Structure formats: structure tokens, C-alpha cells
Amino acid sequence: MILQAGPACDKISLVSILGAVSLWMPRLKNKENRISRSFCGGGMENIMNIVVLAGGISTERDVSFVSGMGIYKALRSKGHRAVLLDVFMGYDHDDWEGVFESDTDWTAAIESIKDSAPDLDRVKAMRPGWEKSFFGPHVLDICRAADMVFLALHGANGEDGKIQACFELFGIRYTGTDYVSSAICMDKGITKDLFVAGGVPTPAGIRFKKGGEPENKVPYPCIVKACCGGSSVGVVIARNDQEYAAALKEAFRYDNEVVVEQYITGREFAISVIDGKAYPIIEIAPKSGFYDYKSKYQPGAAVETCPADLPKDKAEEIARAAEKAFQVLRLKNYARFDFMLDAQGDFYFLEANTLPGMTATSLMPQEAQAAGMNYADLCQYIVDITMRQ
């Protein structure tokens, strides 16, 4: 299938459904009053109960935990009553109603990110019967009791719109974009369709399902990607038929549809858009190979420069393109775009990340720092944006 513009995605109205849910959904006493007072001035304390939701069962589980740990500590430093919760394992105790007043160190079990994706079968085996519900024990209870949920999830069942849709039905306020744009951006093929339709530069390519490979192939070298994935898991460069066959096999391990696109030789960059505004561009130069899972999360595996060394007019052109891409994909709150710049000065947007990493080596926090905003202030800004919407 050749990538081309697809039909526009209409947002489904939830007004009637949410109205029905409100008839039976219990509310915490004075919860609404606490939120409204916090953000309407008058000298009231701006302290909230916030769930930092991390973990899950995607290939980016470990990354999510480290992102969540950083966010949790930042929110605590701002005075919020924050808890760090694994969306999949949950909180298997009956005292869940008191978690926000607990002195528990919610980061004690968090480890550093390994240089390969986690063993998800082992994770699932730790919670027998998980097939009946993705959410771990008391996850929804605690999220509904919170003032908001700060999503530190990455990848499938976190960044793909499913949890966002569930939260909207339950009236749970959450960070990041909504369920429609989350689902769009999780699918690299649909994202590229909309880039093409919206006039956002992107590499030429094709997408197809397993067993449906078209006769017309993308010339070598090319990039093979699992359609729905992140952190460069299931992404392989192919330079000949043998490597192409191996790349397809690897990509199909993670999804039943793949994107094969033109390999752009040049410099690699990322740019974040927060609240509709582009932030300083960051350049990524892996010390070996391309910007894969290991390069992204192992300290020292890549050289990252922010602001990137680019002519002012080119940086401004890219920033405007990023803001346009933000609108084309109907994003809200924040997102990060990855792009390439070739030797002729042409740039190509690769994909959008709706819940970009928030680890110590992540790109968006570095961009915010270059704009004069430290990590804790960035987390607070995201909270503020979320409360305005």
C-alpha cells in the first residue's frame, strides 16, 4: 500500500456517555472545589493529589518507569502529593484510599534501563489472570480519587489512546493529547498519511501487512519499522535483500503491519512542541550505528546538542513545520517530532511521540532546559496546561 492521504478522523462526541457515567460514578467529597480553588488565585495552595502512571506491558516498560520516577520526584519537589503507580501491576492492598498521605518511597524498586527491551512474558506471569483486565488492582480507584493523572506511559496500551479513552469515560483528567490523536500518532503509517495530506515533509515509503508485501519495493538502503512501536524497537536498516528479509522478520515480531521508507542520509534531530509552541531543536549523533533503543537510554551512547547548530532561518523553518505538524495531527498539550536533515538542507519528519520520554537522557527535558525551564518546572508546566483544558 502506497502511503497517501487518508480520510480525516472525526472526533466522537462523549457528552451523552459522560453524562450517563456521572449518574453512578461516586465523587470524592469537595474534590471539585479543591481543584477550582487551586487554580483561581486568591492565595489558595496549589497542592494536588497526582498519580504518575507508568509501567504497563509495552516494549518501553522500563523506559516508562524511569520517566515516571523523574516526574514523581519533580512533582514531590513542587509540594504535590504524588504517587508512582504501575498501571499493570497496580496496588494490591486494601488501604488504597490513603495512598496520597502515605510516606511510601514509590521509587524504591525502580532500576536503570537495560540495553534491550524487557521480558514481557515474565512481567505478565507475575500477575495471573491479567487477561481479564489490563488495569492492575485499584489502579482505576486511585486514578479516580486523584486530581489528575500524569501519564509516564510509553508505547502500546499507554500511548495508543486506549487508556486516554477509558479515562475520558471515567472523567479522569490526564496529561498529554486526547485518545483520537494518540491513536493516530501511534500508527506510523497513518501518521505518514496525514503528513503527506497536510504538506509536512516526510520520507517516501509504503506500508503493508504480513503476507501482503507489494511488488514495488523502496530502493535500498531503506528503513523497516513496526507500524506501532517506539524507542526504535522493531526498527532496522536494510541495505540488500538478505538484510531486508531479516528486517521484515524483526519488525513483524512486534506488529502485523510495517512501514518501509526511504533511508535519509544526514543529521538526526528532534523538536518538541508544548502548548502549540516549538522549543529549541536538539541534534542527536549516536556514537555507533543509528539512534536505536540502546543509544536512546544508555548514558553516553549518543552526543546530543541543544540548541542544535543550525542556521537561524533553517531552525525557524523547521520550528514552523513542527507547529504545523502538531496541528495536522490534531495534537494537544505536547509532543515531540523526530526528523532528518540531508546534505541538501531538506528536512523530513519521521514520526510524532505523544508521550515523549522524561528520563535523565530524554530529549524534551533537554529542549526545555535550553529554553530556560528546568525539569521540575517543565513537569509543573505540563500540569498547568492540563488543568487549563
CATH number, residue 220: 3.30.1490.20
Give the model's pLDDT for residue 9. 39
Domain assignment present for 170: yes
Average pLDDT over residues 219-236: 79
Residue with cell 514523581: 72
Q: What is the DSSP string of 64-87?
A: HHHHHHHHHHHHHHTT-EEEEEET
Phi, psi angle pair for 220, to nearest 5°: -75, 150
Domain that holds residue 83: 15-179
Give the model's pLDDT for residue 115. 55
Give the closest residue to 89 by CA, choosing from 114, 71, 106: 106
Q: What tens digit of pLDDT does each residue of 279-329 get?
A: 999 999 977 655 555 555 555 668 999 999 999 999 999 999 999 999 999
The rounded distance, in Å, linking the Cα atoms of 215 and 232 is 26
Whole-model pTM over 0.75: yes
Count CB neighbours of 361 within 10 A. 18
pLDDT averaged over every residue in the chain: 84
Q: Give 120's pLDDT tier (boundaries 50, 70, 90).
A: confident
Indicate if the pLDDT at residue 112 is higher than 80.
no
In this structure, the answer to whether residues 86 and 218 fall within a common structural domain is no
What is the domain-level CATH number for residue 83?
3.40.50.20
The rounded distance, in Å, linking the Cα atoms of 58 and 159 is 10
Give the model's pLDDT for residue 34. 38
Give the closest residue to 70 by CA, choosing from 153, 159, 152, 173: 152
Q: Give 386's pLDDT tier (boundaries 50, 70, 90).
A: very high
Q: Give 235's pLDDT tier (boundaries 50, 70, 90).
A: confident
In this structure, the answer to whether residues 146 and 256 fall within a common structural domain is no
Give me 114's grid cell. 537495560
Give the model's pLDDT for residue 230. 52
Q: At what angle do helices 179-186 and 188-198 cross, to 10 degrees?
A: 100
Task: Point out the least confidently predicted range of 64-68, 127-131, 212-216, 366-370.
Answer: 212-216
CA–CA distance from 161 to each of 14, 32, 61, 108 (Å)?
A: 15, 25, 17, 29
Q: What tens digit of pLDDT does each residue of 74-83 get?
A: 999 999 999 9
Give just the sign of the alpha carbon dihedral 13, 330, 146, 94: positive
In this structure, the answer to whether residues 224 and 109 fall within a common structural domain is no
Indicate if the pLDDT at residue 12 is higher than 90.
no
The rounded distance, in Å, linking the Cα atoms of 367 and 350 is 18
Domain assignment present for 190: no
In this structure, the answer to whether residues 75 and 162 fall within a common structural domain is yes
Question: Do the Cβ atoms of 149 and 164 come closer than 8 Å?
Answer: no
Average pLDDT over residues 157-178: 96
Domain assignment present for 303: no
Strands 235-238 and 222-226: antiparallel
Give me 60's grid cell. 518501553
Our CA angle for 112, 116, 118, nearest 5°, is 75
Residue with cell 483486565: 133
For the chain, how many structural domains are there in total? 2
Domain assignment present for 193: no
Q: Is 247 exposed, middle or buried, given 0-12, 13-18 or 19+ CB atoms closer than 10 A?
A: buried
Average pLDDT over residues 359-373: 92
In this structure, the answer to whether residues 153 and 105 fall within a common structural domain is yes
Domain assignment present for 63: yes
**Greatest mean pLDDT range, 24-38, 178-192, 212-226, 244-258:** 178-192
In this structure, the answer to whether residues 125 and 225 fall within a common structural domain is no
Our CA angle for 343, 347, 351, nearest 5°, is 135
Give the model's pLDDT for residue 334. 98
Average pLDDT over residues 189-203: 96
Give the model's pLDDT for residue 36. 35
Q: What are the counts of helices (DSSP H) followed by strands (DSSP E) for the chain?
A: 13, 13
Give the model's pLDDT for residue 29. 34
